[in-house]
Amino acid sequence: MAAYDDLKQELIKYSEEIGIDKIGFTSADVFSELKARLEIQQEKGYQSGFEKGLIEERTEPVRLLPGAESIVSIALAYPSRMKNPPKSKKGERRGMFARASWGEDYHLVLKEKLNLLATFLSERVEGFSAKIMVDTGELSDRAVAERAGVGFSGKNCAIITPEFGSYVYLGEMIINIPFTPDEPIDDGCGECTKCIDACPTGALVGPGQLNAQQCMAFLTQTKGYMPEEHRDKLGNIIYGYDTCQVVCPYNKGIDSHQHEEFEPDPDLVKPPLIEFLSISNREFKEKFGYMAGSWRGKKPLQRNAILALAHYKEKSAVPALIDVLTQDPRPVLRGTAGWALGKIGTEEAFQALQKAVEKEEDVQALEEINKGLQFFDNNFM
Ligand code: SF4
């Protein structure tokens, strides 16, 4: 029996008491396979740009914590369904935040749990040190969870646990205690390719290989224009994208509700789209600031809300979209509203676009407004 095995068992028991759904342990060795994969990703330009640190820091735990010996990986399950979701109907269209943004920001919830684990260990081991990470740290939460046996890495790049499917949040803590590592679990995808087939942009370029630049979840978080070829694919989603998880057989029937913090407020995760276009900074912060999906501010979400209204061809949104087109100080929103008005295509929209084309000074916004006008030439004239 290794020196710290009793402590490991105590920590596992404590993790259950504080509401951690799964815990696994791995060494602090270099993530060699990941390193090779990241180098290819970098070469091919598949990164999102949200990654933190150099490839060495992202794959060599000892660079992040001197004396690193092992890594504790944790998973908390989140719900896949909400009770009594409000209906999105004509005249009252609603957007949708993806599941990973339901409830309280998971970064904070998981960090709190990891801090409790760190305190537990620091009270028992002299000279204990730790580095905690959730999503935004250098390490890949998924690579750690995979090696620690929390789940296997699916072709959709998500970690799939046998108990909770891939509807889990992940976090980890590098520590200077040499806990015995757990065994990884077997890959369970087999011949299935449902996620690859369902991805609307072809972002899953191969099993477990993602071109983040094409991933809809990533694109909902960018601040510029949504690439035109992807605008129609968003549907009513204003943040994130779940399709590659929804289609996965391992998620069938999985709906975990053991954490009050992750329970969605249906009115907020399905917000009325028209109102969302004119929400003030203060109201946005008050209402949505606690959600993971608010981290990039309201602009990308409002851009997506405009696209969702275009997707519905929601005529009752035309006055609100004209307000954005003519009054919003942000060119990306004016341009996107111009494009959307063209898609919706009422006479009022046409008049507004004709006026806007005379006044718009931003080159890209003007281009989008002209695209809006072209829809009339193609469809309505
Ligand atoms: Fe694996 Fe199929 Fe799930 Fe994709 S959908 S992650 S291929 S099991």
Whether residue 26 is predicted with pLDDT greater than 80 in this model: the reply is: yes
Ligand 1 binding pocket includes 205 (Cβ within 6 Å): no
Please provide the average confidence, as pLDDT, over all residues in the chain.
Answer: 94
At 1 the pLDDT is 58
Ligand 1 binding pocket includes 245 (Cβ within 6 Å): no
Point out the ligand 1 atom lying closest to the alpha carbon of residue 251: 3
Catalytic residue from among 6, 29, 105, 135: 135
CA of 153 to the centre of ligand 1 (A): 9
Ligand 1 binding pocket includes 250 (Cβ within 6 Å): yes
| Any domain includes 362 | yes
| Any domain includes 367 | yes
Is residue 48 part of an annotated ligand binding site? Answer: no
Is residue 370 part of an annotated ligand binding site? Answer: no
| Any domain includes 34 | yes
**Domain that residue 17 falls in:** 2-80+102-175
> Is the torsion defined by CA of 102, 266, 246, 75 positive or negative?
positive
| Any domain includes 370 | yes
CA of 209 to the centre of ligand 1 (A): 13
CA of 40 to the centre of ligand 1 (A): 23
Is residue 296 part of an annotated ligand binding site? Answer: yes
- Do 191 and 246 form a contact (C-beta atoms < 8 A)? no
**Stretch 232-258: mean pLDDT, rounded?**
96
Q: Which residue has a Cα nearest atom 5 of ligand 1?
A: 248
| Any domain includes 346 | yes
Q: Which of 147, 175, 203 is the last residue of a domain?
A: 175
What does the pLDDT look like over 148-206, one tens digit per residue?
A: 999 999 999 999 999 999 999 999 999 999 999 999 999 999 999 999 999 999 999 98
Ligand 1 binding pocket includes 192 (Cβ within 6 Å): yes
Whether residue 291 is predicted with pLDDT greater than 70 in this model: the reply is: yes
Q: Which of 159, 175, 191 is the last residue of a domain?
A: 175
CA of 331 to the centre of ligand 1 (A): 40
Ligand 1 binding pocket includes 195 (Cβ within 6 Å): yes
Q: Which of 113, 143, 175 is the last residue of a domain?
A: 175
| Any domain includes 271 | no
HEC per residue, the chain: CCCCHHHHHHHHHHHHHCCCCEEEEEECCCCHHHHHHHHHHHHHCCCCCCCCCCHHHHHCHHHCCCCCCEEEEEEEECCCCCCCCCCCECCECECEECHHHCCCCHHHHHHHHHHHHHHHHHCCCCCCCEEEECCCCCCCHHHHHHHCCCCEECCCCCEEECCCECCEEEEEEEECCCCCCCCCCCCCCCCCCHHHHHCCCCCEEECCEECHHHCHHHHCCCCCCCCHHHHCCCCCEEECCCHHHHCCHHHCCCCCCCCHHHCCCHHHHCCEHHHHHCCCHHHHHHHHCCCHHHCCCCHHHHHHHHHHHHHHCCHHHHHHHHHHHHHCCCHHHHHHHHHHHHHHCCHHHHHHHHHHHHHCCCHHHHHHHHHHHHHHHHHHC
At 381 the pLDDT is 52
What's the pTM value of the predicted model, to 2 decimals?
0.91
Name the least confident of 38-42, 130-134, 168-172, 307-311: 38-42
The rounded distance, in Å, linking the Cα atoms of 42 and 286 is 38
Q: Which residue has a Cα nearest atom 1 of ligand 1?
A: 189
Domain tally, the chain: 2
Ligand 1 binding pocket includes 248 (Cβ within 6 Å): yes
135 part of the active site: yes
Point out the ligand 1 atom lying closest to the alpha carbon of residue 154: 6
| Any domain includes 125 | yes
At 379 the pLDDT is 67
Ligand 1 binding pocket includes 156 (Cβ within 6 Å): yes
| Any domain includes 200 | no
Is residue 281 part of an annotated ligand binding site? Answer: yes
Ligand 1 binding pocket includes 189 (Cβ within 6 Å): yes
Residue 346 belongs to domain with CATH number: 1.25.10
Whether residue 380 is predicted with pLDDT greater than 80 in this model: the reply is: no
> What ipTM, to 2 d.p.?
0.99
Of the pLDDT bands very low, low, confident and very high (cuts 50, 70, 90), residue 41 is confident
* Token reading at 57: 């820091």
Is residue 299 part of an annotated ligand binding site? Answer: yes
Q: Which residue has a Cα nearest atom 8 of ligand 1?
A: 189
